[in-house]
Amino acid sequence: MPMQQGKPRLQDKVAIVTGAGRGIGRAEAMLLAAEGAKVVVNDLGTDVLGKGADQSIAEKVAAEIRAAGGAAVANTDSVASMEGGQRIIQTAVDAFGRLDILINNAGAVRPKVIFHMTEDDWDSMISVHLKGHFTTIRFASPIFREQKSGVIVNTASESGLGHFGQASYSAAKEGIVGLTRTVARDLGRYGVRCNAIRPRAATRLFDEGVADAMDRARATVGPAAAPAIHQSDLQDKPEHVAALVVWLCTDATANVNGRTFVVGGNLVGLYAEPEPVRSLYREGGWDLDTLDRIGSQDLIGGVVNEFLPR
């Protein structure tokens, strides 16, 4: 846990980080502690597919924080259940008496082309990512509303923009962006802010082994599929992501709410909010003949679908 120069930015704040046993979550927990926060290190200890459990994973990180002079406790509940989400939040209250920061990071990955995807592949990704964000926010939000303060940082993904072989993961991750925007509106009037990141980092979810598996899957359908992972992303460190996330928890970003950021390596960026790129209006509405006549040119323009065979 590196020492920070000057006064810690988050002295005596209480933070929860889900999926904090490894990768980005661990880096976030360590930096929060270095900035003076008391941390609940949540991690069920599953494998990359979201299976199994290892309760020692979370405790190792909590012990490392304590050994460096910080305050931390471990929690091994699953974010995928309402009961687990409630216990994670209660752990912070029981251990430290309050809650100020919630970072939703827990996740897993199951890369499969859509025609090979099973119901369990779909349900498990929606549960751990999208529902896993809801369960913790649901039980943190009454605390934040009552104290009229609090910060939530959610972990979305550039996969939500479209990622070959990741339909369930992409759907869950882009759902998190919509969730973030609405939670920001629900809680903003109480002084609570909620933002999201799309991180790039070399973690066990997207390491070289997963990248190779994705490339092999691409080979079955040809080059029209988008590359699974940029090789440069495999060099980016989780600590590069953690810096922006922790910054979003400080007073420096007190006026930032409902926004989505990309972060990784040497890059930080703010995503624009979606809006129509072209709009047409017609008195009386639209019919197929009119769309045939002017839609292809004036609405669609010269757009070509790069993922269709040519």
Q: How far, in Å, CA of 103 to CA of 149, rounded?
A: 15
Q: Is 271 a catalytic residue?
A: no
Q: Among the options 169, 190, 271, 281, which is catalytic?
A: 169
Q: Which structure tokens are listed for 86?
A: 């409630």
Residues that are catalytic? 169
